[in-house]
Structure formats: structure tokens, C-alpha cells
Amino acid sequence: KAGVTQTPRYLIKTRGQQVTLSCSPISGHRSVSWYQQTPGQGLQFLFEYFSETQRNKGNFPGRFSGRQFSNSRSEMNVSTLELGDSALYLCASSPTGAGGSPLHFGNGTRLTVT
Amino acid sequence: DQQVKQNSPSLSVQEGRISILNCDYTNSMFDYFLWYKKYPAEGPTFLISISSIKDKNEDGRFTVFLNKSAKHLSLHIVPSQPGDSAVYFCAASAFETNAGKSTFGDGTTLTVKP
């Protein structure tokens, strides 16, 4: 099985712009989660989607949004970029997202905001 | 309030010796605890997990211990190998909120010296 695929791998944007990141989960996985990792920090939960519905949301401003399509692929959007949004954005999938299920991560999208 | 803490940012051990990585949590609602390993430029990969009804889980060279009364868990790697050098994240999730919304610690960088 192919793993979780995130595109693009790297992005450089300017403050005030918006960006869209893409994630293709493992085939058959219906739960997709997004995490932000900044230097020296753990993974901060952004949101989780299951069957095209946002099931959980973390403590991030409304500038961060996402969606999931019927094929379970997911996109994450950040509007009005700020310097502090520079981070590694990780997507993870699991079959159902049931408690205790291991998450399968992609290699991330490295976003740099200048 | 950081609900999952890894108080040691780094750990260095000699090849063949035991590596012990520690993790503390504050939320009594957590039902599952997982360890992930992360190499540079890659996403985290699942290593081993334990549910709150157990106090030990073993998988080859990796053993996780859970002390619920102390809200503490540890990952033991025996014997340590140079290929184990990576960042290790402790993560916790509650059954009700699903694995997709996991809470991660800040990570411990393990270096195994040949």
C-alpha cells in the first residue's frame, strides 16, 4: 500500500498570502488529521476529518481551515499568512481514527513565510 | 497547559546499552498512549502503544511501561542501536475524542553512539 502523500514538500510564501496544502491518505483510511510542528515543539493538533466532516478541532485561529473530499483526500488552507505560521505541517491518516489507533503520517509540507 | 510532557529534550546512550525515555501526562481521561519515532525530513512513524488497562507492553527490543497512579510512562529500548537515533514523541488520546486528535509531547532526541 502506498503511504500518506503530502504535496508540496516545500513552500515559500509571503506574509498576507494564503496557501493550500494537500494530503492523500492511505487507501481505505477515512480519518485524516492535520498537525503543526514548529522548531523544538511537539505536534500541535489542528483538526480531524472523517467522512468529509470535521470531527475534532484544535486551538488554532479561523485562518486555518480544512476540508475532506469523498475519496478521503484532504486539503488544509491557511489565509492571511503570518511569520509564525512557518512550520512543518503533517497529515496523518487512520482507518477510522478510533481511540488507540496508530496514526500514519506523511512526510509533511515545510511552509516558510517571509 | 501542556497535557503531555517529555522533560528530557535529549538523551545520549552507548550502543548496546538501555535507553529510557520518559513521558508524563496530566489528563486522567487519556485511554491510550503511543510512542512515535521521527527521522529528519520524514514524518513520525508508530512504534508501540499501551492502553490504560495495562501496565506493560513489549514488542521486540521496545517495552513501554505505564504507571497510572503517577501519570507516567516510559519507553525502554534494549539493546540500543545506532539506527535508533531519532526524535521520539509520546502521544496520548482518549477513546471519546478519537486517535485523530492525539496530544503529543515535545519529543526527546535520542542519540545512540557506536
What's the 3-state SS for B29-60?
CCCEEEEEEECCCCCCEEEEEEECCCCEEEEC
pLDDT of residue A96: 80
Instruction: Give the closest-approach CA distance of B72 to chain A in angstroms.
Output: 17
pLDDT of residue A95: 87
d(CA B44, CA B29): 24
A42–B99 C-beta distance less than 8 A: no
pLDDT of residue B95: 78
Return the C-alpha cell found at A95.
482507518
pLDDT of residue A98: 78
Give mean pLDDT in consecutive 10-residue pieces for chain B, a chain of 114 residues.
90 98 94 95 95 96 97 98 97 78 93 97
For chain A, the C-alpha Rg in angstroms (whole number) is 13
d(CA B33, CA B25): 10
pLDDT of residue B97: 66
Q: What is the distance, to the nearest Å, from the Cα of residue B89 to the centroid of all Cα atoms in its chain?
A: 5
Q: pLDDT (tens digit, 0 to 9) for every residue of chain A, 114 residues total?
A: 679 999 999 999 999 999 999 999 999 999 999 999 998 778 999 999 999 999 889 999 999 999 999 999 999 999 999 999 999 999 999 988 777 889 999 999 999 999
Complete edge-to-edge strand list for the sheet that includes strand A64-68:
A5-7, A19-24, A74-78, A64-68
Residues from chain B that touch A99, judged by Cβ atoms under 8 A, are 31-32, 93-99
A105–B43 C-beta distance less than 8 A: yes
pLDDT digits (tens, 9 = 90+) for A8-37: 999 999 999 999 999 999 999 999 999 999
pLDDT of residue A10: 97
Q: Which of 42-61 (B) contact A at CB < 8 A?
A: 42-46, 49, 51
Beta strands in chain B (DSSP E): 4-5, 10-14, 19-25, 32-38, 45-51, 56-59, 62-67, 72-77, 86-93, 103-104, 108-113
Q: How many CA atoms lie within 13 A of A92 on its CB side?
A: 31
